[in-house]
Structure 1
C-alpha cells in the first residue's frame, strides 16, 4: 500500500450509519434510525466530532469501532484510543473481517472493542476508509425485559426485544431459503459489553448498515450468561432460523445468513458473544451452544457427530465437512478462537446424547 494513500481519519471521513460528517469540527447530521418501541431510542450509533490531529470523540459511551476500506486490496491500518487524562494508548492493528455473506460486502475490519474509560479514537488507514463508533451499553443501564420465544424448546430472545431494525425495504433483496445441511459455530471476535443486548445491536448495526448486508449475519447469538438471541430475520412471522415454525418434527428451509462466505446456503450460523483467542467462553455459553446444536440437529436430521458432503444449491460446488464445525474448518480464519475451537468435539459429543432424528415433535427437546 503506497504511503501516499494513508491518512488519519477526521470527522469528514467518520461515518455514523448512513450519515457522514459534512464539516470538520461539527457534529454529524442525521437522526438515529433505531426507535425500538419498548426499548425507547437505542443510542448505538454515535455522532462524532473532530478533536484535531485525527482524534475522534463520540458524543456518548464508546464501545466499539468498525472501519471499512476502499477495497479488499487496502485492508490494512491501525487504531488507538484516547483517555480523559489526555493520555493515548498504543496503536493496535486492524484485523480483516472474516464473517461475510456470499456477496455484496464492503471491505472491513473486525469490530474493535474500546478499552474501559476510552473517550476518543484515532484511525490510521488508507485514504477513503471510514470509521463508525457503536455503544455497547457502557452508559446508564437500561431497564427492560428481553423476554423469549420458543423454538424447539429453546428460549430465544426475539429481534424486537433486543432492538433489531426493520430489514424490509432495505434494498438487500428478498430472503432466500434452503434445506439445512450444516451448523457452523463462531465467536464475534470482540468482547461483550456490559449491556449484552447493546452488544448484539452493535454487531447488527455494523453488519446491516455500515457493511450493507441488510441484516445481521448470524442466525443465533449466545451471550456469556447463556442467553440465546435471534439473529437473522426475514422469516414468516419472525420465526428464528427457519422459514416458518417447524410442525410435527418437519424442519422447513433455513433462511440464508451471512456468516461463512461462499457457503451460507443451508448453513446455520451460531455465534458466541466474545473473543476466545486467549480465553474460552463461559460454561453457560457452551451449555447454551450444546442445547442449540442438539435441538437444531434433532429437528433437521443432521447427525452432530457425522460428516456431510456440503453442496451449495447455487452453483453446485461440493466439499466434505463435519456436520457441526467451527468456522475455521471452512478455511481462512482462526474463528471461533484458539481457546474455544478445541471444544468443538466436546460440543458434538454432548449434543449427540439425546439426539433425536427428524420425525419427532419439538416438545421432545427440553429448554
Structure 2
C-alpha cells in the first residue's frame, strides 16, 4: 500500500531552498480540444512581395550551421518560378537571389496559434532556409528562421518546426533551396489550437498526493497530463516500428520557436498547437517531445505515456532511441521580445522545473546527472548530426540538442544554463539516494508459467496462450516484443514495440511461420507506473513450407497430426532437406514423425555437421520434436540428411530459435523498472543498414529530377557495417514503363556514374552488403533526361520556329520564334510530375505558357535585364500526367527554347 509522504520527507528533499513537489493531485481534466488546420499553397515568388522593402532581409537571429555552409550552389542558370502572365511582374529578386524558391505576399488570415512550412518528404530539393513572419497584436514581426524538423520514417511530409503564437492573424513565408526550385507539395500550415475553460487553471503549485519512498515517485514533480491540457487523443496513432526505448541513456533540453512573453492562460494552447502541427501537418504519430515546460515552470506530458514509460519520439534525429527530451516553450537565441535591449533568457521557474523533471528520470533509471553516456548514431534525421551514421559517440547524460545535431537549439541563453541544471539535478538525486537508496520498481517482475510441448522449444501452432503468476497490486500487464522474420535480424535491441495491455495474467500470441518473437511482460500499477520486466517467451515458429527444399525421394504424406498438415517421408539413405538464409540460430528444432524402427538423420550448417538425431521411439507420433543445441549462434544453409537405408524418416519442418536477451549490458545505464533476465549472448554482426542517399548533385547538371547532360554521378553516405555495395538500376524510355531492377555494378566505392539517353528515366537504388547480410534498397529520386530534338514537334507556317546556333545553348542549338501562338509539342509523355523548359532570357524577350493536355499549368516570362542562354523554367504538377505537353508563346517577342523535359 502506498502511503502519504510525510512533511519530514518533503523537508529532506529540499535542495538550495527548492522544495520539490512530489506528485500533485491533477487539475480538473480539460475537454479534449480538436484543432483546426488550414493549408495554404505556396506558389513561387510573388513579384510584388519581392519588391517590397524588407522582403529579402535576413532574420535577426539566423545561425549559419554546418549544413548550410556545406550547401553547394548549382550553376547560375536557375529556374524562375511561374508568375502571372504580365511581363512587369517578373520577380525583381531573381538576378540577385538565385536560391529564392518561394515568397508569399503579406497575407491576412483567420486567427491561428501555430504556423509552419511543410513539403513532400520525397522531394529531392535541398532546402537551405525557411523563414516566416506573422502579424500579432496588429503589427508584423521580424522574419523568424524556422529550423528543419526531424524526420520520421512513417511520415510522407517533411518540414520545419512550428512557430507558435498566443494568437496571430497574418503570415508571410520565404523558402530558399539549393536549386531555386520549390520543394514538391510545399505549403503553409496554420493551426488554430482552440481554447478550453481549463486553460486558465493549469499551472501553479499543487497538493501532494501519495508516493512510495521506495520508488522514483519521491522525485516526481507535478506534470500536467495530456487529458489536462486538452489533447485530442484521436489525432495520435501508434509510433512504429518500435514505440518504446529499452533503457534511458541520455536526456535532451530543447526550445520551441515563439515569443517569450506569452500569458499563463495561453501556455496549454501553445502545447496543443505543437501537438496539432506535429500530427496533422508533419503527419507524425504523436507530438515529438516527451515533455514540455512553460516560462512559469509548469511541466506538460508530451508523448503519450511519457510519464510512466520511455516512448520514442522525435526529439533528436539520429538519437531518438534511448533518450528523452524536454522542450522549453520559448526562443532563447538572441530574442528581445520585451524590447528592453536585453536578450530573453529562461526564467528561474522554468530552470527549476527542468531540473526537477530530469532529476526524477535520472533517479528512476539510475543515471549519473554529471556523467557520460554512449549513443549510437542513426540515419533518420533532417537537422543533420555531427557524427557519422553508425558511429557510437560519448555525450553528457544531460545535453542540449545542439550537442549532437546541427542546430541552434536550445538557444544560447538556455544552453548556457545546462551546467547549473546538471549541478541541481545531481544534488536532488544525491538527496534521494541518501534518504531511500536506489529507486526500486513499483511492482516486481511477473513469474511466467512453464511452457508446454506445443510452445517450447518451438511454437508448433499459429496461436498459443501464455500465462504468468498474478502480481500483487497490479491492475494490468503490458506486453512488448522484438520480432525477427526468417533470415532477418532482430528488431533494434534499443527499443520495444508495445503489443498489448491486458487485465488478466494471460495472453494469446500469434506467430507466423519462420518468425522469432521475444515477448516480455511487466505489471502496471493503479497509477500507471510500470513494474520490473521479465521474459515471457521466445516464441519460434517452424519455417514455412516454401522455405523447405526436399530432394526427389521425399514423398508427401498428409497427416492429421502433423504440424501444418504436411509430412514428407523417405526410406532412402542420403535424402536431404535444406533451409537457406538461416540466421543467428542457437538451436535447430526438427519437427517430424517418431516411431518404432524409424531412422536417423544428421544436421549440418554449411559443410559442418553439428548433430545427429534418431527418430526411433516405442510409439508412433506425427508431431514429435528433436533438438540440436549449438555452442554458438550460426548462420547459413542448414541441411538434414538421412543416414540409413530402408528405415523410415518423415519430417514436417524446422525451426531456428534465437537467443535475444532483455539483459542490460554493462555500462548501459539500466535502472530499476528496466529490463531483467540473463546476460546478453554475443551474436554475429547484424546486417548493414541501408545507406543514406543524399541529394542528387553533379557538376554542370541540374538538380533531380531533371538532367540536361548524358551522365549523372550519384553519391551516397557510408552505411554502418557495410563492406561493399550493389548498384541497382531500372529505366524507361520516353512514354514507356519502368523495367525491372538489375544489378548494374558491385563496388566498394560510394559513387556511381549513370548514363542517360534522350528522354530516358532512370531510378537508382543502393544495397549495402556486409558480413551480416544485405540491407534494404535505398532509392534515389527518379532522374529524367530531356527528350531528343526529334521528339519535339514544332509548329510551322506563320508560327514557325527557326534554328539558331550558338555554343552557349544546350547542344549548341536553340529554336527561336517571335510569333504569337507558336507551339512545341511532346507527345506520349508518361507519368509526368515535373515539366522543365530550357530557354534563354534577356531584354525584350517574350512569354510562354505550358500545357498538360488542354490545361494550362504555368506561365513564364523570359524577359530579364541579364542575358542567359540556359535558364530552366520548371513546373511541378500536383499529380502524375500522361499525354501531350505543349509549350505555347503568348506574344510577338522572341522566345528561344533548347530543350523540353517531361520528368516522372
What TM-score, normalized by structure 2, do the two folds share? 0.31
Q: Which has the higher contact order (CA 8 A, sep 6+)?
A: 1
- 2: CA distance, partners of 1:184 / 1:133: 28
Distance in 2 separating the partners of 1:105 and 1:111 = 17
CA offset at residue 75 of structure 1? 5.3
Paired position in structure 2 for 1:13? none
2:382 is equivalent to residue 332 of structure 1: no
Would the aligned equivalents of 1:49 and 1:58 in 2 still touch at CA under 8 Å? no
Distance in structure 2 (CA, Å) of the matches to 1:267 and 1:304: 13
- Aligned partners of 2:149 and 2:158 also within 8 Å: no
Out of 296, 310, 324, the residue aligned to residue 268 of structure 1 is 324
Which string of whole-angstrom CA distances, capped at 9 and with x for unpartnered residues, describes residues 227-277 of structure 1?
Answer: 1100111x4xxxx3443xxxxxxxxxx221111001111101111111011
What residue in structure 1 maps to residue 172 of structure 2? Answer: 122
2:190: which partner in 1? 133
Q: CA deviation at 1:144?
A: 5.7
Separation in structure 1 between the aligned mates of residue 133 and residue 189 of structure 2, nearest angstrom: 14
1:183 to 2:248 alignment = no
Across the two proteins, how many residue pairs are aligned to each other? 306
1:198 correspondence with 2:277: no
Runs of 5+ unmatched residues, structure 1? 1-36, 244-253
Distance 1:120 1:224, change over 3 A: same
Structure-2 change in CA distance of 1:102 and 1:320 (3 Å): farther
Preserved contact between residue 49 and residue 57 of structure 1 (Cα < 8 Å):
no
Report the Cα distance in structure 2 between the residues aligned to 1:289 and 1:333, rounded to whole angstroms.
20
Give the drift of 1:316.
6.6
Closer, same or farther: CA 100–80 of 1 in aligned 2, 3 Å? same
**Structure with higher helix content:** 1
Measure, in 2, the Cα distance between the counterparts of 1:255 and 1:76. Answer: 31
Alpha-carbon shift at residue 159 of structure 1 (Å): 0.7
Richer in strand (by share): 2
Cα separation, 2, equivalents of 1:199 and 1:304: 29
CA distance in 2, matches of 1:286, 1:214: 29
Quickly say closer, same or farther: Cα 1:280–1:156, change in 2 above 3 A.
same
Q: Classify 1:78/1:263 alpha carbon distance in 2 versus 1 (closer, same or farther; 3 Å).
A: closer
Correspondences of 1:1-367 after superposition (within 5 Å) = 39-40=30-31, 42=33, 44-45=35-36, 47=38, 54=105, 56-59=107-110, 61-70=111-120, 71=123, 73-74=126-127, 76-81=129-134, 89=140, 92=143, 94-101=145-152, 104=155, 106-113=157-164, 118-125=168-175, 126=182, 128-135=185-192, 145-146=201-202, 152-166=219-233, 170=237, 172-173=239-240, 175-191=243-259, 193-194=262-263, 195-233=266-304, 235=305, 240-243=306-309, 254-278=310-334, 279-311=344-376, 317-356=391-430, 359-361=438-440
What is the CA–CA distance in structure 2 between the aligned matches of 1:326 and 1:303, rounded to whole Å?
A: 16
CA contact (8 A) 1:218 1:258 kept: yes
Q: Secondary structure at the match of 1:339?
A: helix
1:100 Cα deviation after fit: 4.8
Quote the offset at 1:331 in angstroms: 2.7
SS in 2 for 1:303: coil
CA contact (8 A) 1:82 1:120 kept: yes
Uncovered stretches (5+) of structure 2, i.e. residues with no partner: 1-27, 47-103, 176-181, 212-216, 335-343, 380-388, 443-904
Residue by residue over 1:254-309, the C-alpha shift from the partner in whole angstroms, topping out at 9 and shown as x without a partner, is 22111100111110111111101122111000000111111111111110101122
Q: 1:75 to 1:281 in 2, by over 3 A?
A: same
The structural deviation recorded for 1:172 is: 4.5
